[in-house]
Structure 1
């Protein structure tokens, strides 16, 4: 207890003079009084238990007084009746105060907003991921205009756009401003403008870190920015850390360690900006193909419970992540749809590291996560192939007929974001309007359009979508932005070329492609 007066200079030591010598004899500190149980202290010091409880309560109350944590400096009473009768301390935040600070940015479509529980939340880092052409950039450009609208559509604040690949596409923004009827219906003073969108380009990771650390906070505080967009977050990391990925294994390991540290640093920077200034941070992310050990096309997948399915077909229906490289050389079992039990252990192959261990005199390496030291197989629930379905957006449907993807930057980056929104696209075929072309076989279907879906993978404010794209919201890209496809339009084939009159704005968007779009930066990304 020699540090008691150093930690709490005003503590009334005289009231507990009979206890201090025994505590000092056994080397107990102030930290021990705050963390250890009173019974444990009594066993070591042989002091009365009631006196120890009074001393611990007095130390805790004195510490609260020093930190100004409570308005009542008196210690809480020891007996239960008095403790229950004592008024509880005031909460730091109430439901009303939290609700007043909750703001979202609309996608300007009620169906999409309903799936997102109101839109993109302020104070959080939201990721929009998907393959090329899925509509990521179209979502981002819509948010750049929507944030300038007054509530409930936006925050009434400007936006900051940071690009790692191509400059901001002002032509497409101007097209949205002219075509969206909502912008024309608001008051002219609240109408979005390109002047309220600040943009910059960061060609490498060093400049990106400098912008997020120094330049962005200044602009956010000076202009009261409500939305920060980073498009895309994976480009600079791929250019910086994957250039030496083909080197020795030791160099590759240190390279991945440095990348993980940089990812954590960038995630911390974005979260601090979102919380400090109560703005929405939205980043776009690229995806990588996920290949399985059997390299079976996704279109040949069948349900695991289909009759007549052999064990080899069960194993062929698995697509593993590039992160699960330790399972190569032996096909993985089908990913279970339920938590495994001990009776299922015999149906899963042992790890390849276990087989090597029995044929060599080299000391065995440490077991992999989820694998015991005696070589028993890891429970499927602990494997990455089983877990990634809940944080990647792909792989949660056992009978998926589309190629599985994995968001770039891996699991480390997935832990840095608050919400992940996955965008899917699938081709829509139809009969060609130029059936007399010599180079085209008569009657062969041709690509007419793309169908797109939006899926909530995980979010703190919105429920996650179901498996696959069954519960995802289908949307389309029009001249006015993004728009959900209604059920009657899907039934009548709108979006696949059967009803051109009801798809006029999308046809105009395709016909003006030469003027509106400029390479990748204005493609439907």
Structure 2
């Protein structure tokens, strides 16, 4: 443990708690650190980052499979998000396999991020392709932000001159869906038909948001008897879990069969985590473990209280936001600050 790049104070607290090796650190829970070692949340974050950097990681199964002769041509490839800083943070961009969940509160920049990825997918030099890649954008809550898209389409040629007279909007296919049944039909019938028949190559599916079609799915009629209400809620929860599993399975199937990056936007809610009487407020993604088990990579977006002067002609009041990798089979736990500018989403080194 002497090799870990952490404060001496943290090391002494761990030793007093009997946590004296990297193995024991990996086995300890957050509660153990908070109660036994009296570490703060920032101390725990520093400790985990240090252990991640110190530990030896063998070649991952994903990496090994990507070198198999029979592996699909897109395994190991990633979809650039159109920003060098964010691409570096994501180790090249969004993986073209699996399901990436982008969760966060209102105004955290989730939809802005997805719009930029949809435009960046059409830049051959960014994606190392010979032709633009199309995007399927599914909206379940708010109408598609067409006005913001048109604004970005006007600015993108300044950032990428090769865009020229390319009709970027023609390569983004938008679908508005309001319920679970329609979403299933879209994933099982309409999208596969589009992928088979369209001359355009596709690189991205955005579902904004997965929670939208399930909102209110566990509500009940106030006139029902309490016993019937309980049965109704239990039945709805089971039904929702099955629907989530089916939708997640379809997204994984589309991703693996066609080499698509899949981004599912999700909402968050407040939760209180009580440790020795202290209430620690944190954000948790919606839909619980039923959906979390279908996610390959979870990234959380959040707003900070910091403002910086980033716009060339702005007023110096650009809000700083943050992306955090919560879990992933190929990305370490890490954070990256970013800002939503008139020209798009840009990471802050």
TM-score norm. by structure 2 comes to: 0.70
Cα 1:113–1:96 shift into 2, 3 Å: farther
Q: Which residue of 2 aligns with 1:478?
A: 341
How far apart in 1 are the matches of 2:345 and 2:268?
21
Aligned partner of 1:452 among 307, 311, 321? 321
Cα 1:235–1:453 shift into 2, 3 Å: same
How far apart in 1 are the matches of 2:87 and 2:69?
22
Q: Which residue of 1 aligns with 2:258?
A: 277
Cα 1:154–1:452 shift into 2, 3 Å: farther
**Aligned residues: CA RMSD:** 2.6
Q: Which residue of 2 aligns with 1:202?
A: 177
Aligned partner of 2:208 among 223, 231, 246? 231
Aligned partner of 2:90 among 102, 113, 116? 116
Q: Which residue of 1 aligns with 2:293?
A: 415
* Stretches of structure 2 lacking an aligned partner (at least 5 in a row): 1-63, 309-316
Aligned partner of 1:262 among 233, 243, 250? 243
1:249 aligns with 2:230: yes
Cα 1:163–1:187 shift into 2, 3 Å: closer
Cα 1:192–1:136 shift into 2, 3 Å: farther
Correspondences of 1:361-510 after superposition (within 5 Å): 403-428=281-306, 450-465=319-334, 472-486=335-349
Cα 1:285–1:245 shift into 2, 3 Å: farther
Q: State how many pairs are aligned.
A: 268
1:137 aligns with 2:111: yes
How far apart in 2 are the matches of 1:474 and 1:245?
44
Q: Please identify which structure carries the higher strand content.
A: 2
Q: Which residue of 2 aligns with 1:94?
A: 67
1:158 aligns with 2:134: yes
Q: Which residue of 2 aligns with 1:334?
A: none
How far apart in 2 are the matches of 1:277 and 1:93?
15
Secondary structure class of the residue paired with 2:112: helix
Q: Deviations over 1:321-378 (max 9, x none)?
A: xxxxxxxxxxxxxxxxxxxxxxxxxxxxxxxxxxxxxxxxxxxxxxxxxxxxxxxxxx
Q: Which residue of 2 aligns with 1:372?
A: none
How far apart in 1 are the matches of 2:210 and 2:65?
35
Cα 1:415–1:423 shift into 2, 3 Å: same
Q: CA deviation at 1:225?
A: 2.0
How far apart in 2 are the matches of 1:211 and 1:427?
39
How far apart in 2 are the matches of 1:206 and 1:186?
41
How far apart in 1 are the matches of 2:302 and 2:207?
20
Q: CA deviation at 1:154?
A: 6.4
Q: Work out whether residues 233 and 283 of structure 1, in 8 Å CA contact, stay in contact via their aligned partners in 2.
A: yes
Cα 1:200–1:100 shift into 2, 3 Å: closer
Q: Work out whether residues 148 and 154 of structure 1, in 8 Å CA contact, stay in contact via their aligned partners in 2.
A: no
* Stretches of structure 1 lacking an aligned partner (at least 5 in a row): 1-90, 294-313, 320-402, 431-447, 466-471, 487-525
Q: CA deviation at 1:178?
A: 2.0
How far apart in 1 are the matches of 2:171 and 2:157?
19
Q: CA deviation at 1:418?
A: 1.0
Q: Which residue of 2 aligns with 1:499?
A: none
Q: CA deviation at 1:286?
A: 0.3
Q: Which residue of 2 aligns with 1:374?
A: none
Q: Which residue of 1 aligns with 2:48?
A: none
Higher Cα Rg: structure 1 or 2? 1
Correspondences of 1:309-324 after superposition (within 5 Å): 315-319=276-280
Q: Which residue of 2 aligns with 1:105?
A: 79
Secondary structure class of the residue paired with 1:424: strand
Q: Which residue of 1 aligns with 2:192?
A: 217
Q: Which residue of 1 aligns with 2:155?
A: 179
Q: Work out whether residues 318 and 339 of structure 2, in 8 Å CA contact, stay in contact via their aligned partners in 1.
A: no
